[in-house]
Amino acid sequence: MSALTSGLDVANFPKVLKPILPFLQRANDFEKRAPLVAFYCRTYAAQLGITIIQSATTKEDEPTKMLIDLMDKLETVRNYIFPIYMLGQATIKREYGRRSRYSRVVRIKNVQKGRRR
């Protein structure tokens, strides 16, 4: 799993999975700033890796083990990120709903007073 965390070892990365390396590197770049973006980069890398392994002519164990480690990490991160993200979305929706109701009341009062926006 060390190849999937902050220090990607490019030299020891399996040749079969080289196409997913840029997505894992971007995920590491975004880990602190935007964990949700990092999660989606890793998710795409896992999907791409599965496609690559399925279409590969030779079956190796190391790339498969790396993808399983990546999917385990995605499960762990998903259970941590999404409750926080959904809580934030609920707060935004609640606040937006308050503001939109307030703005409608103000518009109605302005129309009743003869003012137009």
Q: What is the pLDDT of residues 67-106, one digit of tens each?
A: 999 999 898 888 887 776 666 666 656 655 555 555 555 5
Name the pLDDT band for 2 (thresholds 50, 70, 90): very low
Q: Does residue 96 lie in a domain region?
A: no
Is the pTM for the entire model greater than 0.85?
no
The reported pLDDT for the residue numbered 81 is 79
Half-sphere exposure of residue 97: CA atoms within 13 angstroms, side-chain side? 6
Which residue range(s) make up the domain with 77? 2-82
Label residue 27 by pLDDT band (50, 70, 90).
Answer: very high
Q: Where are the alpha helices (DSSP H) in 1-117?
A: 21-30, 35-55, 61-112
Residue 99 in any domain: the answer is: no
- Residue 101 is assigned to a structural domain of this protein: no
Q: Is 98 contained in some domain?
A: no
Decide if 61 is inside a domain.
Answer: yes
CA dist 105 → 56, 69, 87, 91, 108 (Å)? 62, 54, 28, 21, 5
Res. 60 pLDDT band, cuts 50 70 90:
confident
Number of domains into which the chain is organized: 1
88 belongs to a structural domain: no
